[in-house]
Amino acid sequence: MKAPPMPPVILAFVLMGFNVIMAALDTVFVRFVSGEVHALEIAFFRNFFSLLALFFILKPAQRSFDANGLWPLHSLRAIIKLLALVAYFMAITMLPIALVTALAFTMPLFVTLGSMLFLREGVGFHRILAIFAGLVGMLIILQPPGIEFGSGVMLALGSAIGLAGVALLMKVSSGREEPLRIVWFNLVVTVPIALLIAIPVWVWPSPTALGLMALQGVGGLIAQLSIARALKLADASMVISVDFIRLPIVAILGYFLFAESIELTVLAGGALIFAGVVYSAFWEGRRARRAIPPDTI
């Protein structure tokens, strides 16, 4: 007897759970490898192995280099994403990994702020409330008895802002190119640039480090595809809420693997930041549904 298909909502949570695990392992892999390989080189290998995996996933027709006149936009987005990735990896080498993860949760809030400032989207009460919650969460993390505002924190927040910029650029081109092709163009631009900037600090990684970076690249790509699929199966607020599990997972891994203390201010501030993200996703989803004419649902 054939098993019944998994309900879409359950499948969405399973896919998001995989994404959470891979994101947590991604952070741990960077910390492990950073003692041997520079962050610039880690960024190259991560993107290289992602590109290699994507090459075999795409159909031959999807591997073309015809970008419909969007090469400048793809290139700009790829460069910003590479810089944000390097900043994130450098922050991991300088700060407790739970702190870096908590600050990474601010990215969707920067997307909301950027949408209001640069894309002229409406400034509503719910958006302002979500951003305010995120700012308060950051203050809880960064102010005494929290963490000193140093270069590591600036790199983590700079990474979140950069990835928010990438998301805003995605909004501009999303209607003109399919998501997999956008990822393809991003990696095609990123890999050679990442190699060039990694050459001055290049060291040949050990087989263990190379294996971890290969897992990081392939797993990161699959996780990215998983969350995209999950967002098609369930409401964004429901799917995104699962991502908060990443913070305690990373905190526990940091405690056992790297002897990092678990700071309550980081967990509390991260929870507040994430609450703002989920609240924003919930109301954006409601607004989008109200905007759809009844005969198109």
C-alpha 193: how far from chain center: 20
Q: What pLDDT, on a 0 to 100 scale, did the predictor assign at position 274?
A: 84
pLDDT averaged over every residue in the chain: 84
The residue segments making up the domain with residue 210 are: 8-296
Residue 276: which residues within 8 A CB-CB, separation 6 or more? 109, 129, 130, 131, 132, 133, 134, 137
Confidence check: pLDDT of 24 > 80 = yes
In a domain, 117, yes or no: yes
Average pLDDT over residues 136-141: 84
Q: What pLDDT, on a 0 to 100 scale, did the predictor assign at position 291?
A: 46
Q: Which one-letter amino acid corresponds to residue 161?
A: I
Half-sphere exposure (Cβ direction) of 228: Cα atoms closer than 13 Å: 12
Is residue 88 within 8 Å of 157, Cβ to Cβ?
A: no
Q: What pLDDT, on a 0 to 100 scale, did the predictor assign at position 296?
A: 28
In a domain, 25, yes or no: yes
Average pLDDT over residues 156-173: 87
Q: What pLDDT, on a 0 to 100 scale, did the predictor assign at position 237?
A: 65
**Of 278, 107, 105, 132, residue with least CA distance to 124:** 132
Average pLDDT over residues 192-206: 96
In a domain, 1, yes or no: no
- Report pLDDT digits (tens) over 207-266: 999 999 999 999 999 988 888 788 778 776 667 777 888 989 999 999 999 999 888 888
**In whole angstroms, how far apart are CA 193 and each of 92, 141, 212?**
22, 34, 22
Q: pLDDT exceeding 90 applies to what percent of the chain? A: 41
Confidence check: pLDDT of 293 > 60 = no
In a domain, 198, yes or no: yes
Q: What pLDDT, on a 0 to 100 scale, did the predictor assign at position 292?
A: 41
In a domain, 3, yes or no: no
Q: How many structural domains comprise the chain?
A: 1
In a domain, 89, yes or no: yes
Q: What pTM was computed for the model?
A: 0.88
Residue 297 burial (C-beta neighbours within 10 Å; 0-12, 13-18, 19+):
exposed
In a domain, 152, yes or no: yes
- Report pLDDT digits (tens) over 26-79: 999 999 999 999 999 999 999 999 999 999 998 888 888 776 777 888 899 999
Q: What pLDDT, on a 0 to 100 scale, did the predictor assign at position 236?
A: 66
In a domain, 2, yes or no: no
